[in-house]
């Protein structure tokens, strides 16, 4: 179950955004807004292809039986959702405790990171899930070329073939071409679902299932939330969140900080940052999405949040049921002065840290919204993912942008291609080089 607390905004602010929320909702439900070609995710939890789901489960079972490592190659929406769910439900220490390890590549160009992965693959059976909707993104394409060679050296071309899973467009792109030519098993990213909304497609589901997570429960939770979000009105939690965010922006709060209290949720926050950043940050508009992990960041960013520039609001994401019961013991001499906590669980202490922070930051001029789920399990997490997606669609439409495109991502790509002498970009390459300051 999910609840949202928007006490930090006034009833007047809330009501002033209701007509815009209704329009946004209608556009999402009827596919009539900007970018509506990419709103397939709205009904995705009830339209998942059963055969594809069965193939995902079979591939995940094979990976679990023949691989000590699954290497997931993708960037942006083609990896953040899977990593968010795996870390949230299996823990950030999952790879130290369980098999198969799930490692991520293709999301950076760091040679030392690649070397570390190569070292971890040494002597370990592995498979690759390469994920790219366009099939042409440079970072994952480069990673796939590097690690596919390693796989082929280890198992031969034929052996490697049965260890490569390609998740891509049904027809377009270089990755689809390679997969067809080589006979890799492929999974389809629906045409009408953009990268950052694709966690509940094979993009997220295959790695998540390979990590041993119940994807039926994840989809069920998303389907529950889809039904809740389908109902228009003040009780719709996604409307409440979308309205509250825009009300905060109206007050000059241009930065949202997603606050989590569990290191396992750090990548959930990374996923949220991409979802909202890429959806809303355009046409010189948007709320800058950022994130902190408390209580750790109360000792680094807490000072700024309490007393720095007053352009911030927070959205805390909490789980209402402790995942484990760890308690502080009583000590006879109480040398550390902590006996006042004896018998209390870490959850009790964390909750008071949250409540104290809620009040302190509010008093300091950083108001808080609060989203709670009942349990840290697949069903509630599925609901949370859908809640954020639907909220993002509503919020982006209220803001007046197309929440489903990302034209700004192209600028760096064009420059990089030109500077790397990609055929067709030669002229621009020379011009760009001339513009760069000495030493850059
Ligand atoms: O949300 C998006 O569309 C992007 O972040 C993409 O997921 C990202 O750029 C990767 O693209 P692709 O899957 O085509 O390699």
Catalytically annotated residue among 12, 50, 97, 299: 299
Mutate to test the pocket of ligand 1, among 137, 408, 412 (most ligand atoms within 8 A of CB): 137
| 289-309: average pLDDT | 98
Give, for 382, the enclosing helix (H) or strand (E): helix 378-399
CA 438 to centroid of ligand 1, rounded, Å: 33
Distance from the first to the final alpha carbon of the chain: 51
- Residues 270/275/281/282 CA torsion (nearest 10 deg): 140
| 32-57: average pLDDT | 96
Residue 238 pLDDT greater than 90, yes or no? yes
Alpha-carbon gap, residue 410 to 384, rounded angstroms: 30
Query: Which of the four pLDDT bands, split at 50, 70 and 90, describes residue 231?
Result: very high
**Strand, helix or coil for residue 34:** coil
| 313-329: average pLDDT | 96
Catalytically annotated residue among 157, 227, 413, 414: 413
Average pLDDT along the chain: 97
Mutate to test the pocket of ligand 1, among 195, 204, 272, 273 (most ligand atoms within 8 A of CB): 195
Residue 426 pLDDT greater than 90, yes or no? no
**Strand, helix or coil for residue 292:** strand
Mutate to test the pocket of ligand 1, among 35, 75, 176 (most ligand atoms within 8 A of CB): 75
pLDDT computed for residue 302 by the predictor: 98
Catalytically annotated residue among 139, 256, 270, 278: 278
Q: b/e map of 95-106 (b: 16 or more CB within 10 Å)?
A: beeebbbbbbbb
Task: Decide if 278 is catalytic.
Answer: yes
Alpha-carbon gap, residue 59 to 209, rounded angstroms: 9
Alpha-carbon gap, residue 421 to 342, rounded angstroms: 65
Length, in residues, of the chain: 440
Nearest ligand 1 atom to the CA of 137 is 15
Beta strands in 200-284 (DSSP E): 255-260
The two structure tokens encoding residue 242: 């979308």
pLDDT above 90 covers a percentage of the chain that reads 98
Query: Which of the four pLDDT bands, split at 50, 70 and 90, describes residue 184?
Result: very high
Largest separation between any pair of C-alpha atoms in the chain: 77
Are 206 and 218 in contact by the 8 Å Cβ rule? The answer is: no
The two structure tokens encoding residue 330: 């009583």
pTM beyond cutoff 0.95: yes
| 433-439: average pLDDT | 94
| 174-195: average pLDDT | 97
- Read off φ and ψ for residue 200, nearest 5 degrees: -95, 10
Q: Is 194 in the pocket of ligand 1 (CB under 6 A)?
A: yes
Residue 146 pLDDT greater than 90, yes or no? yes
């Amino acid at each position: 179950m999910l609840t949202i607390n928007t006490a930090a905004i006034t009833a007047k602010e809330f009501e002033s955004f209701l007509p815009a929320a209704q329009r946004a909702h209608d556009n999402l439900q009827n596919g009539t807004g900007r970018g509506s070609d990419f709103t397939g995710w709205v009904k995705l939890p009830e339209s998942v292809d059963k055969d594809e789901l069965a193939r995902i489960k079979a591939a995940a079972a094979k990976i679990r039986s023949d691989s000590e490592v699954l290497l997931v190659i993708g960037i942006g929406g083609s990896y953040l959702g899977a990593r968010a769910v795996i870390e949230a439900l299996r823990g950030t220490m999952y790879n130290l405790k369980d098999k198969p390890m799930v490692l991520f590549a293709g999301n950076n160009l760091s040679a030392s990171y690649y070397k570390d992965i190569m070292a971890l693959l040494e002597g370990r059976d592995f498979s690759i899930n390469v994920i790219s909707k366009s099939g042409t993104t440079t970072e994952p394409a480069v990673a796939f070329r590097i690690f596919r060679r390693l796989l082929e050296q280890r198992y031969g071309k034929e052996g490697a073939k049965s260890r490569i899973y390609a998740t891509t467009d049904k027809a377009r792109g270089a990755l689809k071409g390679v997969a067809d030519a080589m006979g890799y098993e492929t999974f389809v990213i629906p045409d009408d679902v953009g990268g950052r909304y694709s966690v509940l497609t094979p993009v997220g589901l295959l790695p998540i299932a390979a990590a041993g997570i119940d994807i039926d429960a994840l989809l069920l939770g998303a389907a529950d939330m889809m039904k809740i979000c389908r109902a228009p009105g003040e009780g719709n939690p996604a409307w409440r969140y979308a309205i509250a965010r825009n009300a905060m922006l109206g007050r000059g709060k241009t930065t949202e900080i997603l606050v989590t209290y569990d290191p396992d949720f750090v990548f959930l926050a990374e996923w949220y940052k991409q979802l909202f950043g890429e959806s809303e940050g355009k046409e010189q508009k948007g709320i800058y999405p950022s994130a902190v992990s408390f209580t750790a960041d109360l000792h680094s960013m807490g000072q700024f949040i309490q007393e720095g520039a007053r352009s911030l609001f927070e959205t805390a994401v909490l789980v209402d049921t402790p995942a484990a019961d760890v308690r502080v013991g009583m000590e006879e001499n109480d040398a550390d002065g902590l006996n006042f906590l004896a018998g209390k669980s870490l959850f009790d202490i964390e909750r008071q840290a949250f409540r104290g922070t809620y009040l302190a930051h509010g008093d300091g001029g950083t108001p808080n919204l609060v989203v709670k789920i009942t349990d840290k399990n697949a069903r509630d997490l599925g609901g949370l993912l859908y809640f954020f997606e639907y909220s993002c669609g509503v919020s982006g439409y209220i803001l007046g942008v197309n929440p489903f495109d990302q034209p700004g991502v192209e600028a760096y790509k064009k420059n990089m291609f030109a500077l790397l002498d990609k055929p067709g970009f030669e002229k621009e390459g020379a011009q760009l080089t001339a513009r760069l300051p000495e030493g850059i």
